[in-house]
Amino acid sequence: MSANPSTQSGKRRRMRKLLVDRSIDLILLVFSLLMLLPLVFLVSNGFKTPQEMLAWPPTIIPANPTIDNFAAVLQDTPLLRWIFNSILFAVLSTLAILATSSIAGYILAKFRYRSLNVIFALVLATAIVPFEVYMIPLYFQAQSMGILNSIWGLLLGYLVMSFGIFLIRQNVIHSIPDELLEAARIDGAGELWIFFRIVLPLLRGALGALGVLAFFQAWTAFAWPMIVATNREAYTIEVGLALFQTGFTVDLGRLSAASALVLIPSISLFVILRRNFVQGVASTGLKE
Protein backbone atom coordinates (compact mmCIF):
# COMPACT_ATOMS: atom_id res chain seq x y z
CA MET A 1 0.00 0.00 0.00
CA SER A 2 1.62 3.28 -1.13
CA ALA A 3 1.86 6.28 1.22
CA ASN A 4 -0.22 9.37 0.66
CA PRO A 5 1.76 11.83 -1.59
CA SER A 6 0.71 14.82 0.54
CA THR A 7 2.02 13.09 3.69
CA GLN A 8 5.37 12.36 2.03
CA SER A 9 5.59 15.97 0.86
CA GLY A 10 4.91 17.17 4.38
CA LYS A 11 7.64 14.92 5.78
CA ARG A 12 10.12 16.20 3.21
CA ARG A 13 9.30 19.81 4.12
CA ARG A 14 9.76 19.08 7.82
CA MET A 15 13.05 17.29 7.15
CA ARG A 16 14.25 20.17 4.97
CA LYS A 17 13.29 22.71 7.64
CA LEU A 18 14.98 20.61 10.33
CA LEU A 19 18.13 20.37 8.19
CA VAL A 20 18.18 24.14 7.61
CA ASP A 21 17.66 24.84 11.32
CA ARG A 22 20.46 22.50 12.33
CA SER A 23 22.77 24.02 9.73
CA ILE A 24 22.05 27.53 11.07
CA ASP A 25 22.64 26.32 14.63
CA LEU A 26 25.96 24.77 13.59
CA ILE A 27 27.11 27.96 11.83
CA LEU A 28 26.14 30.10 14.82
CA LEU A 29 27.91 27.69 17.18
CA VAL A 30 31.12 27.81 15.13
CA PHE A 31 30.90 31.60 14.88
CA SER A 32 30.35 31.90 18.64
CA LEU A 33 33.38 29.71 19.37
CA LEU A 34 35.52 31.81 17.03
CA MET A 35 34.34 34.97 18.82
CA LEU A 36 35.18 33.47 22.23
CA LEU A 37 38.56 32.09 21.18
CA PRO A 38 40.55 35.36 21.69
CA LEU A 39 39.01 35.72 25.15
CA VAL A 40 39.94 32.14 26.04
CA PHE A 41 43.53 32.68 24.87
CA LEU A 42 43.69 35.94 26.83
CA VAL A 43 42.85 34.20 30.10
CA SER A 44 45.01 31.20 29.22
CA ASN A 45 48.07 33.33 28.44
CA GLY A 46 47.84 34.87 31.89
CA PHE A 47 48.71 31.46 33.37
CA LYS A 48 51.51 30.57 30.92
CA THR A 49 55.27 30.89 31.21
CA PRO A 50 57.03 33.10 28.61
CA GLN A 51 58.43 30.02 26.84
CA GLU A 52 55.03 28.37 26.52
CA MET A 53 53.45 31.60 25.39
CA LEU A 54 55.81 31.76 22.40
CA ALA A 55 55.52 28.04 21.55
CA TRP A 56 53.86 26.88 18.35
CA PRO A 57 51.21 25.58 18.00
CA PRO A 58 49.66 27.56 20.87
CA THR A 59 47.99 25.66 23.69
CA ILE A 60 44.66 26.57 25.22
CA ILE A 61 45.26 24.78 28.53
CA PRO A 62 48.68 25.73 30.01
CA ALA A 63 51.03 22.75 30.42
CA ASN A 64 52.67 24.31 33.50
CA PRO A 65 50.18 26.85 34.86
CA THR A 66 51.67 29.64 36.94
CA ILE A 67 50.33 32.71 38.72
CA ASP A 68 53.63 34.62 38.41
CA ASN A 69 52.12 37.01 35.86
CA PHE A 70 49.24 37.90 38.19
CA ALA A 71 51.58 38.30 41.19
CA ALA A 72 53.96 40.53 39.18
CA VAL A 73 51.10 42.71 37.97
CA LEU A 74 49.72 43.21 41.47
CA GLN A 75 53.17 43.89 42.97
CA ASP A 76 54.69 46.16 40.33
CA THR A 77 51.68 48.25 39.31
CA PRO A 78 48.81 49.94 41.19
CA LEU A 79 46.37 47.77 39.26
CA LEU A 80 43.75 47.68 42.01
CA ARG A 81 43.90 51.49 42.22
CA TRP A 82 43.37 51.73 38.46
CA ILE A 83 40.42 49.31 38.66
CA PHE A 84 38.94 51.38 41.53
CA ASN A 85 39.35 54.57 39.48
CA SER A 86 37.65 52.95 36.50
CA ILE A 87 34.78 51.55 38.58
CA LEU A 88 34.20 54.91 40.30
CA PHE A 89 34.41 56.78 37.00
CA ALA A 90 32.10 54.32 35.21
CA VAL A 91 29.51 54.22 38.02
CA LEU A 92 29.34 58.01 38.45
CA SER A 93 29.24 58.54 34.68
CA THR A 94 26.45 55.96 34.39
CA LEU A 95 24.40 57.66 37.11
CA ALA A 96 24.93 61.07 35.50
CA ILE A 97 23.94 59.83 32.05
CA LEU A 98 20.87 58.02 33.42
CA ALA A 99 19.78 61.20 35.22
CA THR A 100 20.37 63.60 32.32
CA SER A 101 18.94 61.21 29.70
CA SER A 102 15.78 60.39 31.67
CA ILE A 103 15.03 64.05 32.47
CA ALA A 104 15.84 65.37 28.99
CA GLY A 105 14.17 62.44 27.21
CA TYR A 106 10.96 62.84 29.22
CA ILE A 107 10.80 66.60 28.65
CA LEU A 108 11.52 66.31 24.94
CA ALA A 109 8.88 63.59 24.54
CA LYS A 110 5.98 64.91 26.58
CA PHE A 111 6.19 68.69 26.79
CA ARG A 112 4.77 70.59 23.82
CA TYR A 113 7.02 73.54 23.10
CA ARG A 114 8.25 74.41 19.61
CA SER A 115 11.72 75.24 20.90
CA LEU A 116 12.08 71.67 22.22
CA ASN A 117 12.10 70.36 18.65
CA VAL A 118 15.07 72.60 17.90
CA ILE A 119 16.84 71.41 21.06
CA PHE A 120 16.19 67.78 20.13
CA ALA A 121 17.61 68.40 16.64
CA LEU A 122 20.73 69.89 18.23
CA VAL A 123 21.03 66.86 20.52
CA LEU A 124 20.87 64.53 17.53
CA ALA A 125 23.39 66.68 15.67
CA THR A 126 25.91 66.32 18.49
CA ALA A 127 25.77 62.53 18.05
CA ILE A 128 27.63 62.78 14.73
CA VAL A 129 30.38 65.03 16.12
CA PRO A 130 33.39 62.92 17.20
CA PHE A 131 34.47 63.40 20.79
CA GLU A 132 37.99 64.20 19.58
CA VAL A 133 36.69 67.41 17.98
CA TYR A 134 35.85 69.08 21.30
CA MET A 135 38.22 67.09 23.51
CA ILE A 136 40.99 69.71 23.54
CA PRO A 137 38.69 72.68 24.41
CA LEU A 138 37.20 70.48 27.12
CA TYR A 139 40.70 69.79 28.43
CA PHE A 140 41.46 73.51 28.77
CA GLN A 141 38.14 73.94 30.56
CA ALA A 142 39.07 71.18 33.01
CA GLN A 143 42.49 72.78 33.46
CA SER A 144 40.98 76.17 34.24
CA MET A 145 38.68 74.54 36.79
CA GLY A 146 41.62 72.80 38.45
CA ILE A 147 40.13 69.31 38.18
CA LEU A 148 42.88 67.54 36.21
CA ASN A 149 44.02 64.22 37.73
CA SER A 150 40.70 63.85 39.55
CA ILE A 151 37.49 61.93 39.10
CA TRP A 152 35.68 65.21 38.39
CA GLY A 153 37.96 65.87 35.46
CA LEU A 154 37.17 62.42 34.05
CA LEU A 155 33.45 62.98 34.52
CA LEU A 156 33.49 66.33 32.73
CA GLY A 157 33.51 64.58 29.36
CA TYR A 158 31.02 61.84 30.27
CA LEU A 159 28.03 63.50 31.89
CA VAL A 160 25.64 63.49 28.92
CA MET A 161 25.04 60.95 26.13
CA SER A 162 23.06 62.14 23.11
CA PHE A 163 22.12 58.58 22.18
CA GLY A 164 20.80 58.07 25.71
CA ILE A 165 18.51 61.09 25.38
CA PHE A 166 17.25 59.78 22.05
CA LEU A 167 16.71 56.27 23.47
CA ILE A 168 14.73 57.49 26.49
CA ARG A 169 12.69 59.93 24.41
CA GLN A 170 11.60 57.19 22.03
CA ASN A 171 10.73 54.87 24.91
CA VAL A 172 8.69 57.59 26.64
CA ILE A 173 6.74 58.27 23.45
CA HIS A 174 5.90 54.61 22.88
CA SER A 175 5.60 53.33 26.46
CA ILE A 176 3.88 56.10 28.42
CA PRO A 177 0.48 57.28 27.15
CA ASP A 178 -0.44 60.94 27.56
CA GLU A 179 -3.74 59.90 29.19
CA LEU A 180 -1.87 58.33 32.10
CA LEU A 181 0.06 61.53 32.79
CA GLU A 182 -3.05 63.70 32.40
CA ALA A 183 -4.98 61.47 34.83
CA ALA A 184 -2.21 61.90 37.39
CA ARG A 185 -2.25 65.69 36.94
CA ILE A 186 -6.04 65.79 37.32
CA ASP A 187 -5.65 63.88 40.58
CA GLY A 188 -3.36 66.62 41.83
CA ALA A 189 0.04 64.98 41.30
CA GLY A 190 2.99 67.30 40.78
CA GLU A 191 5.47 66.95 37.96
CA LEU A 192 8.22 65.59 40.20
CA TRP A 193 5.86 62.96 41.66
CA ILE A 194 4.78 61.96 38.15
CA PHE A 195 8.39 61.70 37.00
CA PHE A 196 9.66 59.63 39.91
CA ARG A 197 6.56 57.49 40.59
CA ILE A 198 5.19 56.91 37.08
CA VAL A 199 7.75 57.70 34.38
CA LEU A 200 10.89 56.15 35.85
CA PRO A 201 9.29 52.79 36.82
CA LEU A 202 7.89 52.41 33.30
CA LEU A 203 11.34 53.11 31.82
CA ARG A 204 13.11 50.46 33.89
CA GLY A 205 14.02 48.27 30.88
CA ALA A 206 15.30 51.14 28.76
CA LEU A 207 17.25 52.61 31.68
CA GLY A 208 18.81 49.20 32.35
CA ALA A 209 19.97 48.96 28.72
CA LEU A 210 21.25 52.53 28.77
CA GLY A 211 23.02 51.89 32.07
CA VAL A 212 24.98 48.99 30.59
CA LEU A 213 25.91 51.04 27.51
CA ALA A 214 26.94 54.05 29.61
CA PHE A 215 28.99 51.89 31.98
CA PHE A 216 30.95 50.23 29.19
CA GLN A 217 31.42 53.55 27.40
CA ALA A 218 33.17 54.95 30.47
CA TRP A 219 34.89 51.67 31.34
CA THR A 220 36.54 51.44 27.91
CA ALA A 221 37.28 55.17 27.53
CA PHE A 222 40.92 55.79 26.69
CA ALA A 223 41.64 59.11 24.94
CA TRP A 224 39.96 61.41 27.47
CA PRO A 225 41.34 59.70 30.61
CA MET A 226 44.79 59.64 29.01
CA ILE A 227 44.97 63.43 28.59
CA VAL A 228 43.15 64.32 31.82
CA ALA A 229 45.07 61.93 34.11
CA THR A 230 48.81 62.62 33.98
CA ASN A 231 49.48 61.27 37.48
CA ARG A 232 50.02 57.49 37.58
CA GLU A 233 47.76 57.13 40.60
CA ALA A 234 44.93 58.83 38.69
CA TYR A 235 45.03 56.46 35.70
CA THR A 236 42.04 54.40 34.73
CA ILE A 237 42.54 50.77 33.85
CA GLU A 238 42.53 51.40 30.09
CA VAL A 239 45.38 53.90 30.41
CA GLY A 240 47.19 51.66 32.87
CA LEU A 241 47.07 48.67 30.53
CA ALA A 242 48.80 50.75 27.85
CA LEU A 243 51.87 50.91 30.12
CA PHE A 244 52.50 47.23 29.47
CA GLN A 245 53.28 48.12 25.87
CA THR A 246 56.50 49.97 25.28
CA GLY A 247 57.72 51.42 21.99
CA PHE A 248 59.04 48.13 20.59
CA THR A 249 57.93 45.29 22.89
CA VAL A 250 54.80 44.08 24.64
CA ASP A 251 54.87 42.32 28.00
CA LEU A 252 52.30 39.79 26.83
CA GLY A 253 52.18 37.72 30.02
CA ARG A 254 51.50 40.62 32.37
CA LEU A 255 49.21 42.30 29.88
CA SER A 256 47.13 39.11 29.59
CA ALA A 257 47.02 38.70 33.38
CA ALA A 258 45.98 42.31 33.93
CA SER A 259 43.37 42.13 31.17
CA ALA A 260 41.94 38.92 32.66
CA LEU A 261 41.57 40.64 36.05
CA VAL A 262 39.95 43.65 34.43
CA LEU A 263 37.31 41.45 32.82
CA ILE A 264 35.84 40.44 36.18
CA PRO A 265 33.93 43.68 37.02
CA SER A 266 32.62 44.26 33.49
CA ILE A 267 31.43 40.67 33.01
CA SER A 268 29.83 40.67 36.48
CA LEU A 269 27.88 43.82 35.68
CA PHE A 270 26.72 42.46 32.34
CA VAL A 271 25.53 39.23 33.97
CA ILE A 272 23.60 41.20 36.62
CA LEU A 273 21.95 43.58 34.12
CA ARG A 274 21.73 41.18 31.18
CA ARG A 275 17.98 40.79 31.44
CA ASN A 276 17.28 44.54 31.48
CA PHE A 277 19.78 45.11 28.69
CA VAL A 278 18.17 42.54 26.37
CA GLN A 279 14.64 43.70 27.19
CA GLY A 280 15.49 47.35 26.70
CA VAL A 281 17.24 46.89 23.37
CA ALA A 282 14.63 44.43 22.10
CA SER A 283 11.68 46.64 23.02
CA THR A 284 13.33 49.69 21.47
CA GLY A 285 14.06 47.82 18.25
CA LEU A 286 10.54 46.45 17.96
CA LYS A 287 8.92 49.85 18.37
CA GLU A 288 11.18 51.81 16.07
pTM for the whole thing? 0.76
> Which uninterrupted H or E stretch holds 214?
helix 204-219
Q: Can you list the residues of the chain whose pLDDT is less than 70?
A: 1-6, 246-250, 275-288
Measured between its terminal Cα atoms, the distance across the chain in Å is 55
Q: What is the pLDDT of residues 164-208, one digit of tens each?
A: 999 899 888 888 888 888 888 888 888 889 999 989 998 888 888
**In this structure, which amino acid lies at residue 204?**
R
Question: In 131-222, where do the E strands start and end?
Answer: none
pLDDT for the residue numbered 286: 45
